[in-house]
Chains A and B, each alone.
Chain A
Amino acid sequence: MSDNKENLILHEDEKHLVLEHDYDGIHELNHPLPSWWFGTWILSFVFAVPYFMYYVMMDGPTLMDEYKKDMAVITQIKEAEAANGANFNLEEYNSWIAANDGVAKGAVVYEENCLSCHAEGGRGDIGPNLTDDHWINIKDHVGADTIYPVVFKGVEENGMPAWGEVLSKEEIMSVVSYVLTLHGTNPPEAKEPQGELIK
């Protein structure tokens, strides 16, 4: 065989490290462990052992503890937001929509969140048709003040999600303004009327 000791490439500084053995022509040097390697390994223990002791043996915070702490903060923020969102004021709504081009913004919000149930142009699909005069979730009259709470709080028994948990007050106001523009249009393939007739 060609691979024998004579052909072995050896450097001057390592000749004394070659071990006696030979396995199918393979030789072994006996270099000491690289110190950076060994040092880093020791460091990994220096990190791991106290870490383990703190979190497992000394009651360091568990993932659940951390979660509850973070969740408390989020809950507080959400409660403040919910109070603000639930507090609908028609004047505030009208001036905000006029000042912020609400309908155009609402069209985008609608496409991203409402389209999958109410379909394009509000013609209805899984959710009801929004263009006719029949409504499932609102009474009295069709207006921002009646639609807004439905979007914000949702109507669980009818499958309408509470969007106040997902969308901001501004987003909901804008999408309500967009939905109001759909009312009275007569899109093709519209879903049959559902709910009560409301003028």
Chain B
Amino acid sequence: MSTNSQNPGQLEEFSYNDKITKWFIGATMLWGVVALLLGVTVAFQLAYWKLNLGLEWTTFGRLRPLHTNAAIFAFVGNAIFAGIYYSTQRLCKARLFSDFLSNFHFWGWQLIIVAAAITLPLGITTGKEYAELEWPIDIAIAVVWVAFAINFIGTLVKRRERHIYVALWFYIATIVTVAVLHIVNSISLPVDFMKSYPVYAGVQDALVQWWYGHNAVAFFLTTPFLGLMYYFVPKAANRPVYSYRLSIIHFWSLVFIYIWAGPHHLLYSSTPDWVQTVGMVFSVILWMPSWGGMINGLLTLRGVWDKVRKDPVLKFQATAITFYGMATFEGPLLSIKSVNYLGHFTDWIVGHVHAGTIGWNYMMIAGILYYLVPKIWKTKLYSLKLANTQFWAATIGLLLYMMSMWVAGITQGLMWRQIDAGGRLVYPNFIETVVKIVPMYWVRAFGGVLVLAGFIIMVYNLIMTIKLAKKDEKEEVFAAAPLNASSEEANATPHRRLEGLPILFTVLTTLAILVGGAVEIIPSLLSNKFIEKNPNVKPYTPLELAGRDIYIAEGCYVCHSQQIRPTPEENLRYGKPSTAADSVYDRPFQWGSRRIGPDLARVGGKYNDMWHYRHMMNPRDVTPKSIMPDYTWLFKKKTDFASIEKKVKVMKALGVPYSDEEVRRAFDLAQEQAESITKGLVEQGIPSEMKNKQIIALIAYLQRLGIDTSDKE
């Protein structure tokens, strides 16, 4: 321990809370297996639809959100907490602020994960990507996050090191930004204990959601890992960090610029042009600030590349940084409008995301665990050979994943937009473009198996390592001098002085992220351009609203977008482009982000009711070779007519112009509409008791989509 030799008489004794780190390491290993297993499952479901198993709880639409939530919040989340708690104590020469808060944080977070694992397969979802959890769980997340924030900032305050190190800057940015994002995006009005509608509608909801979604990538998957990199890479390499100056420049530019880039998820959508342009240009300007972290990490390894070859910790970390560099080059590239047009809604994006999550997060986590487990349990790694096996399995698996998704995405993107000399689509049937990429789905799934197998090898290796450890190890006691004026550095630069003021540092970081967030969000809440009215667009009928909730519960948005982009080929395929007015009553918006099936923004009236009935019963009946699962339970489960009045009432409270009469008669109106749809179907041979089933409500919703404005140019 390097102690302050100037004050040998005043040393304080303390120990570190490493038990909490051990717990978070255990949770990381457990949820890592779960998250990756779910990923492999959904990958195979796309390659072979029968693996949806015909059960509502196991269809792709419900498991895919579970996979993303498990990967981001359970697997990566626990790893972040393990790494932050371990390194913060050492960087501050202080025990964590509160053992109670540490335990509360741990168990609270695990309970939230369990709640997610139960509710998402049950179809309890808000239908907003990476923010699917319903309002009581959202509140729990906010509470646990605040406990984490207090515990962390409390530790900073009682530190015995005057200046806070760059890793801690990134942790601060993570903690404040995730809190802001989560709270703003989750504001909604409850209908009942497990159902709510967001306060934002349509374009507003889309902007808030992708401001959140993009920055979940930024401040949950990027900044905490940059912080961890700044601690674990120099520790493992025993090398000084390459450039303090670069740390300062790229930290501040990253946290300031990242937050602006969210609208690049909404290029070619019905959001205002200026918002899209802001999203694009900030994404381009973000490229170098992102690479600042890569350079600082890789150049820290200058001269020790022979160690990188041998040491699994450095090997994983160096690979992680390389993939980080690749993904943060691909990101700005995909934000260029014309490139985005080709890649958006395709698997290219899915590949890009996994370059980040597997390449950057998984690899970094593996490196950190290989460092932490032997260190914290005071033993040696069980098997170097197994660690190397994992490295190759994960790397080859990821490369297969990325390459298959590049091929699939670009193939599909090009097929969608191919127009012949006669002004017709070359591939008018969407299914042709799906069938073409199914072989790539098999390659991807196989790559995923390798990544999962590698992880399981690591878990085994680490458990065996822990078994080697001596039992009943006592907490080690350290000594250091408390903070006092004399520990101030002479001739400190302004930034160095700021590093001695963590609260001010936190405030400035918060301001840096609020500017970009405010410019994006506030106009959307104030300006009516975002909620452009079109008198032809009417609110959904009560039955359509119920059908819409079924659509959301089944996760249809995971495969079907509802946003027609303003280009001729989209017009030929789906109808005229979507406008802000079209989704003005959509709470939540359902624009989607991937088209595994065709866009549905104007599907209303395109097929008859019987077509939809048959399509949900067995998609292959009407679309041979479709990869969509059967939705047989929609024909057995009853529509929840009882709650419809409450739903309409909540919508009215949010500003949807329903009359009092409509609210009062919501139940009857829904029954009447169900009756009339069923009557038409009965003539074609379906049993009349279908009237109360979910399929009828869903048909009502699907037949409504886009018809208010579809033929009025």
Cα of A180 to Cα of B303 in the assembled complex, Å: 78
Chain B, residue nearest A19 (CB): B244
A30 touches B244 (CB 8 A): yes
Please report the C-alpha to C-alpha distance between residue A19 and residue B242 in the assembled complex, in whole angstroms: 11
**In this complex, what residue of B is CB-closest to A119?**
B621
Once A47-B284, A81-B423 are accepted as A-B contacts, the answer to whether A28 and B238 lie under 8 Å apart by CB is no
Q: Chain A: which residue is nearest B296 at the CB level?
A: A31
Contact A11 B277 (CB under 8 A): no
Known contacts: A11-B302, A78-B423. The answer to whether A63 contacts B566 by CB under 8 A is yes
Interface 9-mer from A87-95, A134-142, A159-167: A159-167
List of A residues within 8 angstroms of B567 by Cβ = 67, 70
User: Does the CB pair A166–B425 fall under 8 Å?
Assistant: yes
B161, CB-defined interface residue at 8 Å? yes
Other-chain contact of B249, A33, A73, A74 (Cβ < 8 Å): A33
**What is the 8 Å Cβ interface bit string for chain A, positions 51-70, against chain B (1 contact, 0 not)?**
11001100000111011001
Chain A residues near B93: list those with CB within 8 A: 24
How close is B298's CB to chain A, nearest CB, in angstroms? 11
Interface members, chain B 415-471 (any A CB < 8 Å): 419-425, 428-429, 432
Q: Which residues of chain B have C-beta atoms less than 8 A from A21's C-beta? A: 163, 489
- Taking CB atoms, residues of chain A closer than 8 Å to B277 are 51-52, 55-56
> Is A26 part of the contact surface with B, judged by Cβ < 8 Å?
yes
What residues of chain A lie closer than 8 Å to B577, measured between beta carbons?
Answer: 64, 67
Q: A48-B284, A63-B273 are in contact. List 12 more A-B contacts (CB 8 A).
A: A25-B235, A28-B241, A29-B241, A29-B243, A33-B249, A34-B295, A63-B276, A66-B566, A75-B423, A77-B421, A113-B429, A116-B624
Known A40-B288, A56-B274, A67-B567; contact A33-B243, beta-carbon cutoff 8 A: yes
The residue among B161, B424, B571 with the most chain A CB atoms within 10 A of its own CB is: B424
Q: Which residues of B contact A34 (CB under 8 A)?
A: 246, 295
Interface size of B in residues (CB-CB distance below 8 Å): 73
Whether the pair B285, A48 counts as a contact (CB closer than 8 A) is yes
Task: Name B273's contact: one of A5, A48, A62 (CB within 8 Å).
Answer: A62
Once the chains are docked, how many angstroms separate the CA of A159 from the CA of B568?
A: 25
Least distance between A57 CB and chain B CB atoms (Å): 9
Q: How far is the CB of A117 from chain B (nearest CB, A)?
A: 8
> Of the candidates A30, A52, A166, which one forms a contact with B424 in the assembled complex, judged by CB atoms under 8 Å apart?
A166
B518 interface hit (Cβ, 8 Å): no
The answer, yes or no, to whether A104 is at the interface (CB within 8 Å) is no
Encoded as 1 (CB less than 8 Å from any A CB) or 0, chain B from 214 to 241 comes to 0000000000000000010011011111
Residue A112, interface by CB 8 Å: yes
Please determine whether B292 and A29 come into contact, CB atoms closer than 8 angstroms. Answer: no
Is A126 a contact partner of B165 (Cβ separation < 8 A)? no
Chain B residue nearest to A42 (CB atoms) is: B288
Contact B303 A20 (CB under 8 A): no
Point out the residues of chain A lying under 8 angstroms from B288, CB to CB: 37-38, 40-41, 44
Q: Is A99 an interface residue (CB 8 A)?
A: no
What is the total number of residues of chain A having a CB less than 8 Å from a CB of chain B? 64
Taking a contact as CB atoms under 8 Å apart, the answer to whether B429 and A112 are in contact is yes
* A18 close to chain B: CB less than 8 A: yes
A29 touches B244 (CB 8 A): yes
- Contact B161 A8, beta carbon cutoff 8 Å: no
Residues of B within 8 Å of A62, CB to CB, are 273
Contacts A9-B303, A44-B284, A63-B566 given: A25-B244 contact, CB under 8 Å? no
B302 proximity list for chain A (CB < 8 A): 11
Task: Indicate which residue in A3, A31, A165 contacts B243 across the interface (CB closer than 8 Å).
Answer: A31
Looking at the complex, which one of B273, B284, B624 makes contact with A56 (CB distance below 8 Å)? Answer: B273
State A95–B239 Cα separation when bound (angstroms): 82
Given contacts A24-B90, A30-B245, A33-B243, contact A52 B281 (CB under 8 A): yes
Asked if B572 is at the interface of the complex by the 8 Å CB criterion, the answer is: yes
Can you sample 6 A-B contacts with CB below 8 Å?
A34-B295, A71-B568, A73-B568, A75-B423, A126-B611, A159-B607
CB distance from A19 to the nearest CB of B (A): 6
A116 and B622 contacting across the interface, CB-CB below 8 Å:
yes
Instruction: Confirm or deny: B407 has a beta carbon within 8 angstroms of a beta carbon on chain A.
Output: no
Closest 3 CB pairs of A and B: A41-B288, A77-B423, A67-B566
Provide the residues of chain A in CB contact with B268, threshold 8 Å: 63
| Interchain nearest-CB distance for A155 vs B (Å) | 13
Residues on B with beta carbons closer than 8 Å to the beta carbon of A63: 268, 273, 276, 337, 566
A residues in contact with B274, CB < 8 Å:
56
B304 within 8 A of A: yes
The answer to whether B239 touches A9 (Cβ under 8 A) is: yes
Q: Is B623 positioned at the interface, with any CB of A under 8 Å from its CB?
A: yes
Chain B residues with Cβ below 8 Å from A113 are 428-429
For the complex formed, measure the closest distance between the CB of B3 and the CB atoms of chain A, giving whole angstroms: 11
Q: With contacts A9-B237, A26-B240 known, is A33 near B246, CB below 8 A?
A: yes
Instruction: Tell whether B291 is near chain A: CB-to-CB under 8 Å.
Output: yes
- Given A11-B302, A48-B284, A71-B571, A126–B614 Cβ distance below 8 Å? yes
**A26 touching B231 by the CB < 8 A rule?**
yes
Is B350 an interface position by the 8 A CB rule? no
The smallest C-beta distance from B408 to any residue of chain A, in angstroms, reads 21
Q: Is A98 an interface residue (CB 8 A)?
A: no
- In the complex, B119 has a CB within 8 A of chain A: no
How close is B17's CB to chain A, nearest CB, in angstroms?
16
Contact in complex: A126, B622 (CB < 8 Å): yes
Q: Closest CB of chain A to B88's CB: distance in Å?
A: 10
Q: Is B2 an interface residue (CB 8 A)?
A: yes
Chain A residues whose CB sits within 8 angstroms of the CB of B287 once the complex forms: 40-41, 44
CB B711 to nearest CB in A, in angstroms, measures 11
Nearest chain A residue, comparing its CB with the CB of B163: A21
In the complex, which of the residues B235, B245, B337, B610 contacts A33, with contact meaning CB atoms closer than 8 Å? Answer: B245
The answer to whether residues A9 and B238 also contact, given A32-B245, A55-B273 and a CB cut-off of 8 A, is: yes
Which of the residues B161, B244, B281, B608 comes within 8 Å of A28, measured between beta carbons?
B244
B243, A23: Cβ atoms under 8 Å?
Answer: no
Cβ 8 A contact of B624, one of A74, A115, A166: A115
Q: Does B1 sit within 8 A of A, measured CB to CB?
A: yes
**Does B91 interact with chain A (Cβ within 8 Å)?**
yes
With A56-B273, A159-B608 known to touch, is A31 a contact of B235 (CB < 8 Å)?
Answer: no
Within 8 Å CB of A145, what residues of B?
none
Shortest CB distance A125–B (Å)? 8
Task: List B residues 158-186 near A (Cβ within 8 Å).
Answer: 161, 163, 165-166
In the complex the two chains form, is A23's CB within 8 Å of B281's CB?
no
Question: Are B303 and A48 neighbours in the complex by a CB distance under 8 Å?
Answer: no
In this assembly, does B28 line the interface, its C-beta being within 8 Å of a C-beta of chain A? no
B411 adjacent to chain A (CB < 8 Å):
no
| Chain B residues near A166 (CB-CB < 8 A) | 424-425, 428
Q: Which of A32, A34, A47 has the most CB of B within 10 A?
A: A34
A29-B243, A37-B292, A165-B424 as given contacts; A9 in contact with B285, CB under 8 Å: no
Residues in B neighbouring A51, C-beta threshold 8 A: 277, 280-281
Q: Which residues of A contact B237 (CB under 8 A)?
A: 9
CA distance A112 to B421 in the complex (A): 21
In the assembled complex, A101 has its CB within 8 A of some CB on chain B: no
Residues 554-576 of B, flagged 1 when their CB comes within 8 A of A and 0 if not, give 00000000000011100110000
Complex CA distance for A124 and B434, rounded to whole angstroms: 26
Q: Is A10 an interface residue (CB 8 A)?
A: yes
B525 contacts chain A at the CB level, 8 A cutoff? no
Can you list, as one digit per residue, whether each of B533-569 has a CB less than 8 Å from chain A (1) or not (0)? 0000000000000000000000000000000001110
* From B244, B247, B304, B571, contact of A9 by CB (8 A): B304
- Taking CB atoms, residues of chain B closer than 8 Å to A52 are 277-278, 281
Interface residue? A22 (CB, 8 A): yes
Interface string of B684-700 (1 = CB under 8 A from A): 00000000000000000
Q: Flag if B240 contacts A74 (CB, 8 Å).
A: no
Alpha-carbon distance A62/B337, docked complex (angstroms): 12
